[in-house]
Chains A and B, each alone.
Chain A
């Protein structure tokens, strides 16, 4: 039993060691992008103001863009006298808008970056070995297919830990120094990034066992992130589209269905959960369930596969 556990740990170690070499550049890029996007937040001033939501009524309760739109309209309305008298109004954002900026830029960036990087690695982890025919080393050792699959999975997740921890500290710093009156979402963000990594690693590994070709698997994996990011971008824009259609008296009924479609993206659920922490647990559980299902389907497929080496 001890030898099997020891063998399993060496799969995890070997996988992490193998992947980390090709991940070093990703860490640097991640740090640079997060620092730049977060630094931009410090360029504005934030005050403890509440937004008058009654000015505009939206049906999209968990969409942060509704607050941004309400604030823009309210700012335009309240500063019109200043503009008319020839003065330039001072733009000061409420803390809640600052939090939304944080959610929409650094957090969305981190989610997509980690999702993209992890799915790229995950989708090639078994397909690559399958194509190169190197999987026999582990498959003919006293390790079960489950151990190999789980070992590779843990190796992938370990890769994201430095990025998640880095982003947690950045979030914590932003919320304690810039948005101090707001609820610090550091822990929620850390949980979200972790489940996001788990979900994309599960999806990537499932793709990896389906496609026995590294190039095809990588293509399919990155397409998943592209589709998810596109859906979330549409979700972000829905209040704007609603606003524009409202101005032109066009029908907006389809937006309700479009919004529901965008919920298929884990990024959308993630952003909604951080924007409204009261629903975090529910959305987090959905992401856990999706990860578990994808992980199990992938593992069972892998167990049933013949390895023709």
Chain B
């Protein structure tokens, strides 16, 4: 569990974050979302004890930041662009990261290399690695001691789709408390249970993804049909059952107020027409800024 209260940090005259409050429950994947230089990375750096805050307090699993050594025992940190010494092999680096935690069991090292998909390139030096592969190595290094909390700075940035999928699957299956950052909501869609949206060092809004969709009026499912000729029939059936429906192009948007309405909507849609695709409507950071921070938009 991560708890942050009134956290502030200044870099010379620039205020990086201002009175940040954050609460991430145990076992939850939480996204810190915002544009560049909004203070997301600073929060991760503070939580990973690389940077000291000006004021405020933070705890990870009830351990205050001042007990840096105890914090670092239970966290794994991956920077946005990890810079690794390129005269090492991936295995050497993961082994070194493990040894820093007092882990010397080869099976653990081999296991994490396998989980992150690095086993076939583990003995190659990093100067042959792409940026995406280096990020995978950094991820393996951060996870080798099986940390309770993962702090990931834009984990999907620069990764190929296969690596993205692998890391997504790893995070979803891991049951760890994860705090990750992203530039927009679509980068964390389907991964984060909750998000905090930031701008200019301050929190704009936070909450669960579904709740945010509702708050900004995008609590909707986008449905696409195999045969667009069935659109009218589906509209009729949905409206008959009280759903608010709009059409845009080949997409049908079914609006709902509570998540509990979703199974009923899907049941009607599936019984009425042949569905090719159905997914929650994506919300963008602009939607959030438009609602909660209209002055700066």
Contacts and interface: CB of A to CB of B under 8 A. Distances in A.
Contact of A142 (B45, B51, B85, B101): B101
B131 interface: no
Interface in B166-185: none
Interface in B4-58: 11, 45, 48-52
A307 interface: yes
A138 B96 CA distance: 9
A14 interface: yes
Interface stretch (A5-13, A104-112, A208-216, A232-240): A5-13
B100 A10 contact: yes
A140 B77 contact: yes
Nearest to A10: B99
Interface stretch (B68-76, B112-120, B215-223, B275-283): B68-76
Contacts of B48: 140
Contacts, number: 78
Interface residues of B, number: 30
Contact of A7 (B68, B93, B99): B99
A55 interface: no
B69 A10 contact: no
A136 B68 contact: no
Interface in A68-115: none
B83 interface: yes
Nearest to B70: A142
Given A6-B99, A10-B96, A134 B73 contact: no
Interface in B48-104: 48-52, 68-70, 72-73, 75, 77, 79, 82-85, 93, 96-97, 99-104
Tell which of B70, B96, B104 has the most Cβ of chain A within 10 Å.
B96
Q: For the side of the interface on A, what is the size category?
A: 20 to 34
A307 B83 CA distance: 13
B141 interface: yes
Contacts of A4: 69, 102
Contacts of A6: 99, 102, 104
A133 B78 CA distance: 12
Contacts of B49: 139-140
A7 B101 contact: yes
Contacts of B11: 308
Contacts of A132: 83, 85
B166 to A, nearest CB: 22
A28 interface: no
B100 A7 contact: yes
A130 B187 CA distance: 30
B83 A142 contact: no
Contact of A134 (B51, B83, B99, B103): B83
B296 to A, nearest CB: 25
Interface of A: 2-7, 10-11, 14, 18, 132-134, 136-144, 306-309
21 contacts: A3-B101, A3-B103, A4-B69, A7-B99, A7-B100, A7-B101, A10-B96, A10-B99, A134-B83, A134-B84, A134-B85, A136-B77, A137-B84, A137-B93, A137-B96, A141-B97, A143-B100, A144-B68, A306-B45, A307-B45, A308-B50
